[in-house]
Amino acid sequence: MKLFKICFLFLTLTPAVFSQNIDSLFQEYLRFRGAVKDPDYTTITTGTSQTGKCGFGISHRLMQNINELSPAKQGRLEALMNRPEKDTSIVSPDGIFRIHYNLSGSQAPGYDVQELAEAFDSSYNYEVNILGYPPHFSDVVTDGEDKYDVYIENLGSGFYGETVLETQHTGGVYSTYMRIDNEFQDGFPSTSKGIRGAKVTAAHEYHHAIQVGNYGFFGSERYFYELTSTSMEEFVYDDINDYYNYLPQYFRQTYRAFVDWDRDGYALVLWNLYLREKFTKEGEPDRGFDIIKRCWEILADQSVALTSISQALFENGTSFKQEFSNYGVWCYFTGYRADPVKYFEESPAYPKATPFKTYDYLPPRKEYYLSSQPVSTNILVFPMIESEYNDTLVSIITNHDIDNGKREPFLNTDYTYTLLTDNEPGSSHIINEYYSIIESDNYFILNESNIFNNIEVSGGTIEREQLDYVFPQPFRYSTDDYMYIPAANNELGIADLNIYTSGMDLVYAGRKNIITADKIVVQWDARDSNGSKLPTGVYIYVTNSDDSIVKGKLIIYND
């Protein structure tokens, strides 16, 4: 299902492209507003993205170039740009927002307006009072009332809302008002229908009002506006998780430059979630939030998001290179690879990242010729086909070329990645007998991280150990996520796992990947074949790897 998170932001097209597509862009805006589109409707595509996700970006560009439209379309556009008239309004409990809506008809809300008003107050409270952002720019001059105006409208299918830049003020900041969909039904994911969709839109769009009302409007940096507003959805409403719907696109294309996500910035939400969670896990729960806010303060002067991110990290005693490299590793440990204690807390619900390239490696030495986009991640997977342990090496090559990543068209960095089993001059030790060399004219903007058999490594040696015990033992649901159960290694790296009660009733049967790091084991979440927790008790495990049987007892506490 195609999702359209319409937030307010900007469409960045070259003048030539825009001039050629003004009528198609007009039709795209009609679709956002739920209006009847022209019979020759087409969606503009620039680069890898469609313009259909951003209502305001379209409207702003249209108004800047309105004279290129026919007189009839000019009149229709001007009418659509006006504040809508509604027959009813309420003020939010904290007196900050006025919500305008119709009591009946096709524009009437399909959810509780009072709940929406409370959601806007909650968004304001979290983003302004807790995170410390300055509030929106007041539009008291426009309507004589110092309340932020929100209009409930029947928008196009799948479109969430729009923050409208109404008046430009000194310093390049804007007063705004907002449109929000009236139902959140057709075209929306099941987890975000009705008031749940309205709540995350309140958090998302209100931060757009903060952004342009305090820091300015930089159309070329749209992805940063979007990733920040999408992260606010999670910060304010952690239980809704609408942002999950954008992650498959990112995990399929981690090799894309940040600037190339200009019209799909929602998918980059994980960058801000990384900053928040990484420093929280290190015992500094406010530091990640402060870095994100500092980026916006710098952006107001610098007008380039990547420069702002780099400077904010430097001011906080770290670097973009260090954090973006670490972020690349976090993005690998998702789905079945997830470790929510060490990496993203919600990583089990994320899709797994698609490798940029997968190569068989034959020792002792092999060179691979690759190319990397600025500010991107190349995930290289090497199944070690001659290894007796079915080893898999993952090399994560992150590109930190901020200078080149600021602009389009950007230049790729070509590099040679050499994998070898001898310690040659200039090589870096990965693990055990494996070494690597990266060669490039721009070597300094590349960084390598390594994962060996799903364990992050950096040099050293792993001694394989055939276990005869389960760990942790006993297993407790209150403190443990997984059990690790002994298994014999085999060529395929797969074992059958059966779990029985002490009375020999089968409660779990499944196939598991054999982990061959320092211990040779399979991983199990201590749940039965239906995904349910098991009662406290003693259980019998049996692993079968090509008829090599390992069996024993384990203890589970359902506390």
pLDDT per residue rounded down to tens, the chain (559 residues): 334 444 544 332 233 333 447 777 777 777 767 665 444 433 333 333 333 334 555 666 676 677 888 888 888 877 777 788 999 999 999 999 999 999 999 999 999 999 999 999 999 999 999 999 999 998 876 666 889 999 999 987 778 998 988 888 999 999 999 999 999 998 888 888 999 999 999 999 999 999 999 999 888 888 999 999 999 999 999 999 999 999 999 999 999 999 888 777 899 999 999 999 999 999 999 999 999 999 999 999 999 999 999 999 999 999 999 999 999 999 999 998 899 999 999 999 999 999 999 998 989 999 999 999 999 999 999 988 777 677 889 999 999 999 988 876 789 999 999 999 999 999 999 998 999 999 999 989 999 999 998 889 998 887 767 777 899 989 999 999 899 999 988 767 789 999 999 999 999 999 998 887 667 889 999 999 999 999 999 999 999 988 889 999 999 999 8
CATH superfamily name and code, 465-557: Immunoglobulins (2.60.40.10)
How far is residue 144 from each of residues 110, 139, 147, 224, measured CA to CA in Å?
29, 8, 9, 33
Check: CB of residue 189 under 8 Å from CB of residue 34. no
Q: Where in the chain is the domain with CATH 2.60.40.10?
A: 465-557
Residue 460 corresponds to which amino acid?
G
- Tell me where in the chain the CATH 1.10.390 domain(s) lie: 88-337
**Cβ within 8 Å of residue 483, ≥6 positions away:** 470, 471, 472, 475, 523, 524, 525, 526, 554
CA atoms within 13 A on the CB side of 529: 11
Please report, for residues 351, 371, 372, the alpha-carbon distance to residue 256 in angstroms, rounded to integers and kept in the order given. 17, 11, 9
pTM of this structure: 0.81
Residues pairing with 46 in the sheet: 49
AA identity, residue 193 = K
Please report how the helices 287-302 and 305-315 are oriented relative to each other, as an axis angle in degrees rounded to 10: 130
By the 8 A CB rule, do 484 and 540 touch? Answer: no
* DSSP strand pairing (506-513 vs 365-372): unpaired
Domain covering 88-337, topology: Neutral Protease; domain 2 (1.10.390)
Measure CA 89 to chain center: 35
Residues of 100-109 as b/e, b for ≥16 C-beta within 10 angstroms?
bbbeeeebbb
Token pair for 219: 């159309």
